[in-house]
């Protein structure tokens, strides 16, 4: 994080260990330790985002940390229920994973998947972020949305106008060769009509409602669990490298 901040003028996200994703108390303690380490190296907390998985426990940890002035990035986010819970907790930023949502539906449809019918504006990852964007803007939610995990430039262009996008160097290179006009697909001013068309109503989420809605969304449930498992494996690999 310190090395990245030497070249990045904004913020750096530093992740709480994935194996703490279901432990609110331990996640808060780890986040405080991360902020303390940055502070010891002369980096103020306004340059850091604490990255937490969008589990119920991770969202509760973010709620505690935000009240302490520690901004959080809720990651592994695949559903509106997760997005609404994160917003209600006062999270600074969420990172919905566009490409991983699309991957799930593409695998599920198999030979029935069609880029013509399921790509572009109809891409399931794109439509998920659009729905969150319209919900947030309509209800005046300040939490920022940072689309992430893109598989192609079409997904990026379909989300032009989103608060933030995190884009790989490869896709940035592809975009740099695009000389055509780019339409602003997401506009806060159009959130009202978009919400009416999508039939979105306010969600009220306590713990049981959150868990039920997440459970009823097979894609979000599976991708969240898979993401935590993979992050845990990556952590173990990193620890092994550092030990040598």
Residue positions annotated with a catalytic role: 51
Distances in Å between the alpha carbon of 153 and those of 46, 158, 177, 233?
A: 31, 9, 11, 29
Q: Is 49 helix (H, G, I), strand (E, B) or coil?
A: strand
DSSP state of 121: G
DSSP 8-state assignment for residue 17: P
CA 51 – CA 76 distance, rounded (Å):
10
Distance of CA 82 to the CA centre of its chain: 10
Q: Exposed e or buried b for every residue in 192-223, given b needs 16+ CB within 10 A?
A: eebbeeeebeebebeeeebeebbeebebbeeb
- What lies within 8 Å, CB to CB, of 224 at 6+ separation is 53, 54, 55, 76, 78, 82, 214
DSSP sequence for 188-209:
GGGHHHHHHHHT-------HHH
Distance CA 189, CA 220 (A): 28
């Amino acid at each position: 994080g310190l090395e990245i901040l030497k070249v990045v003028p904004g913020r750096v996200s530093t992740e709480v260990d994935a194996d703490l994703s279901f432990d609110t108390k331990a996640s808060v303690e780890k986040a405080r330790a991360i902020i303390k380490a940055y502070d010891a190296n002369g980096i103020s907390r306004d340059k850091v985002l604490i990255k937490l998985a969008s589990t119920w426990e991770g969202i509760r940890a973010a709620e505690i940390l935000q009240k302490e002035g520690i901004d959080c990035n809720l990651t592994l986010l695949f559903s509106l229920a997760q997005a609404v819970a994160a917003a209600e907790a006062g999270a600074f930023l969420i990172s919905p994973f566009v490409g991983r949502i699309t991957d799930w539906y593409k695998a599920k449809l198999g030979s029935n998947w069609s880029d013509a019918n399921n790509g572009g504006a109809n891409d399931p990852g794109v439509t998920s972020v659009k729905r969150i964007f319209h919900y947030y803007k309509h209800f005046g939610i300040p939490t920022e949305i940072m689309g992430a995990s893109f598989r192609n430039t079409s997904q990026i262009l379909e989300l032009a106008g989103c608060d933030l996008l995190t884009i790989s160097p490869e896709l940035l290179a592809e975009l740099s060769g695009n000389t055509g006009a780019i339409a602003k697909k997401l506009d806060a001013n159009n959130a009202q009509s978009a919400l009416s068309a999508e039939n979105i109503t306010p969600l009220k989420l306590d713990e049981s409602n959150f868990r039920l809605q997440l459970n009823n969304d097979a894609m979000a449930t599976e991708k969240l669990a898979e993401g935590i498992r993979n992050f845990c494996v990556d952590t173990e690999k990193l620890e092994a490298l550092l030990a040598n």
